[in-house]
Structure 1
Amino acid sequence: MNWKAPFVVIGVLAAGYVAYPYLALTQLVDAVESGDPAQLEPKVDWPSVRQGFKDDFNGALAARVSGQPDNGFAALGLALGAKLVGGAVDALVTPEGLTGIIQAGRRDKAAAAALGSSSGLSSPAPTDNEGKPRHTHVVWAFFDGLTSFTARVRGRGEADSDPPVRLRLQLEGGRWILTRVFLPVPSNEQ
């Protein structure tokens, strides 16, 4: 038996492990670009993504209320706001909605798309101001840990100076799937 064979096998397995999340990310971006819910559905852990949005929005709501004087109305507003946010997130974070969020990129564009469409978030125009096709593209991607992978993507309607959307993929059941979407927070917001 050749003594190099185990090292070759280990090298091939390691290379496959490193390449696998990049392949999964490429397939996720392709599914987003296609706009086909059937392609996107199995690539996303929907309960986890919805909970992440709820946590982000409830945290932002709590931060706004914390600056208010102590009174019962602020607590009531926070409780009602959390309930409304939960319902809105459940209704909007669908394959179509997630496609719109990733393609639109920024929170203000995603919110405008949500308000303008009764079926969730709509996709932005597929061309930039000069008529050239713009596609969702990966700005940066790398491992956070052995089973966690983060990517920053910029939507087709975003300029290079706009902050990217951050996606987290987790290795679950032998597959890399999207578990979290972090919308960019503009620096002028508190």
Structure 2
Amino acid sequence: MRKLILAFAVVLALFAAWYFASPWYAMNSLADAARAGDVAALEGKVDFPAVRQSAREQLGALVGQQQERGGLFGMVPDAIVERAGREVIDRAVNADSLGTLVATGAMAAPFLPERLRTQAIDWDVERDDFEHFRGVGTFEDGTPGPQLLFRRDGAGWLVTGFELPPA
């Protein structure tokens, strides 16, 4: 009976260690691969179709806001904006651009405000539930950065989306 209780305690301790440590490990290994420019490692840690869908949703929301305000997108038919946006996203969301997002906090560093371009970004982990967590970026001066959305994949984690901070 003691051996059974001991085995159960060991299994429970291993599960607890995985539950609390694996998101940190996943976020740190993703950041290390991004900083090293290791495209192969990045490709293994990202569900690119899901990340592209996340980018499309964010672009759609941005276009919708512009259309409501009567901005430039308000004058272009929805089908054209959607098609052009899909093409841009399909080409732009790749291991290199995601590596840039993780390493610098932006998909395109030149579009960052000047004060953020030279700042390092730190990543923290926030659990959403058993199946999901967020990698939350913060620049050196405390300015919120992007958030990476992760989903459990077996015993590991995959990036499935991102949320850019408000401009």
Decide: shared fold, TM above 0.5. yes
Normalized per residue, the structure richer in helix is: 2
Do the aligned residues in 2 keep the contact of 1:151 with 1:167 (CA within 8 Å)?
A: yes
Do the aligned residues in 2 keep the contact of 1:100 with 1:110 (CA within 8 Å)?
A: no
How far the C-alpha of 1:24 sits from its partner, in A, is: 1.1
Relative to 1, partners in 2 of residues 1:110 and 1:39: Cα closer, same or farther, differing over 3 Å?
farther
Q: How does the TM-score come out when normalised to structure 1?
A: 0.73
Match of 1:145, SS state, is: coil
| Count of paired positions | 161
For residue 122 of structure 2, the aligned residue among 137, 155, 159 is 137
Q: Which runs of 5+ in 2 are unaligned?
A: none
Do the aligned residues in 1 keep the contact of 2:100 with 2:107 (CA within 8 Å)?
A: no
Match of 1:153, SS state, is: strand
- Identity between Structure 1 and Structure 2 (%): 25
For residue 131 of structure 2, the aligned residue among 113, 124, 147 is 147
Relative to 1, partners in 2 of residues 1:93 and 1:12: Cα closer, same or farther, differing over 3 Å?
same
Confirm whether residue 167 of structure 1 aligns to residue 144 of structure 2.
Answer: no
Do the aligned residues in 1 keep the contact of 2:97 with 2:107 (CA within 8 Å)?
A: no
Do the aligned residues in 1 keep the contact of 2:151 with 2:157 (CA within 8 Å)?
A: yes
Q: Which runs of 5+ in 1 are unaligned?
A: 113-123, 129-133
Do the aligned residues in 1 keep the contact of 2:120 with 2:140 (CA within 8 Å)?
A: no
For residue 67 of structure 1, the aligned residue among 66, 69, 72 is 69
Q: Which amino acid aligns with 2:132?
A: S
Give CA-to-partner distance per residue, 1:77-119, whole Å, 9 cap, x none: 322111111111111111111112233324673657xxxxxxx
Cα distance between partner residues in 1 of 2:22 and 2:140 = 29
Do the aligned residues in 2 keep the contact of 1:170 with 1:177 (CA within 8 Å)?
A: yes
Cα distance between partner residues in 2 of 1:39 and 1:136 = 20
Cα distance between partner residues in 2 of 1:98 and 1:110 = 15
Match of 1:168, SS state, is: strand
Q: How does the TM-score come out when normalised to structure 2?
A: 0.82
CA-atom RMSD in angstroms: 2.7
Do the aligned residues in 1 keep the contact of 2:146 with 2:164 (CA within 8 Å)?
A: yes
Match of 2:166, SS state, is: coil
